[in-house]
Amino acid sequence: MGNVIRIGTRESQLAVWQATKVQQLLAENNFHSELVYIKSEGDIDLHTALYEMGVQGIFTRSLDIALLADKIDIAVHSMKDVPTQLPKGIAQAAVLERASYKDLFVFKNADVVNVVNGESLIVNEDASKLEAPFTIHNSPLTIHHSPFTIATSSIRRKAQWLNRYPHHVIENLRGNVNTRLRKVAESNWQGAIFAAAGLERIGLRPENSIELDWMLPAPAQGAIMVVCRDADVFCLDACGHFNDNLTALCTKIERDFLRILLGGCSTPISALAQVKADTIIFKGNILSVDGKEKVEVEMTKSGLDGSGLGTRENADLGVTAAHEILKRGGGEIVKGIRNATK
């Protein structure tokens, strides 16, 4: 390999932002690099729902192939898109410090928030205590009684939304961030769900959006992973300079939870590990696709050292939590999901 590190990236604005961020971090550590653009299957087919495409690796497969074919030296991924089992010959080189892990509800008009069954959609449990009239951006809110329709391509978001709002209608929404925002504006939907990190990184978070504090994120949501060939010592060393230990630990726990339960991002499985002082706080859940069934777990482990690496028991927290959720009835949900996809 030459002195210039070839960074593989998808062509979307968000993917290029992420790759450029890695390029900047490499430059800060005196490594030269260039961007190489590669299309993914997920970018080409914008009509089929992700969970109908055998989605595992749908946004990473083309980059993995280019990496193994020595067309690029490293690849940059949204970590939540990366399969829990990396392809043979590919290794995790770095995990960047995590941005927001939250989901956003982008509603159609900046001065309107819909209220259903007396419970506001605008944030969390406290919203149910609000009484009309409401205001946002100094404008009165409107209460709609027609069927409430939102859009998302995520089976996880769909299941959690239907668990909370079982009478709502969910439409499929595909495309990159810019395309999805345009589709929302042109549709008759009340709104759509997006990852906060994706919109915020490229400066596209609309004013008419609110964080869904009650919605647990996808494992590793908000994190960026860099991968390289497992024998490429040069790239492993280069990327190691900006690996964030705490984010790497938390996302490992979340992805272990996903791997033990089912293993793919096309499933209604959510997980979040956070570090407070020397303690890891983990929350996870699994839902049936229709949102009617839900099993959740919460665990804590203390004993992190100053590096954020922690003990083996800390690192295995996701595995422990997954086995606990299976005991609590999650196994039946997993079985139902598997039968539905056969």
**Topology annotation, domain 244-342:** Double Stranded RNA Binding Domain (3.30.160)
pLDDT of amino acid 58: 65
pLDDT of amino acid 314: 74
Quote the CA–CA distance of 45 and 30 in Å, as a whole number.
38
Q: Where are the domains of the chain?
A: 1-97+223-243, 103-211, 244-342
Closest to 173 (Cα-Cα) out of 77, 105, 79: 105
Quote the CA–CA distance of 53 and 89 in Å, as a whole number.
25
Closest to 222 (Cα-Cα) out of 198, 193, 249, 246: 198
Contact 106, 181 (CB under 8 A): yes
Dig out the tokens for 35 from the structure: 């961007």
Q: Which CATH number among 3.40.1410.10, 3.40.190.10, 3.40.309.10, 3.40.50.410 corresponds to the domain 1-97+223-243?
A: 3.40.190.10
- Evaluate the CA torsion angle 136, 138, 143, 146 in order and state its sign: negative
pLDDT of amino acid 107: 87
Domain 1-97+223-243 matches domain 103-211 at the CATH topology level: yes
Query: Annotated active-site positions, please?
Result: 81
Count of alpha carbons within 13 Å of 236, Cβ hemisphere only? 8
* Whether CATH 3.40.50.970 fits 103-211: no
Q: Which residue(s) pair with 225 in the sheet?
A: 77, 95
Contact 80, 221 (CB under 8 A): yes
Closest to 266 (Cα-Cα) out of 153, 149, 103: 153
Per-residue model confidence as pLDDT tens for the chain (342 residues): 458 999 999 998 999 999 999 999 999 999 999 999 997 654 434 444 333 333 345 678 899 999 999 999 999 999 998 999 899 999 999 999 999 999 999 988 654 454 433 354 543 333 333 333 333 444 444 444 457 889 998 999 999 999 999 989 999 998 888 899 999 999 989 899 999 999 999 999 998 888 999 999 999 999 999 999 999 999 999 999 999 999 999 999 999 999 999 755 468 999 999 999 889 999 999 999 999 999 999 999 987 765 555 555 677 999 999 999 999 999 999 888 877 766
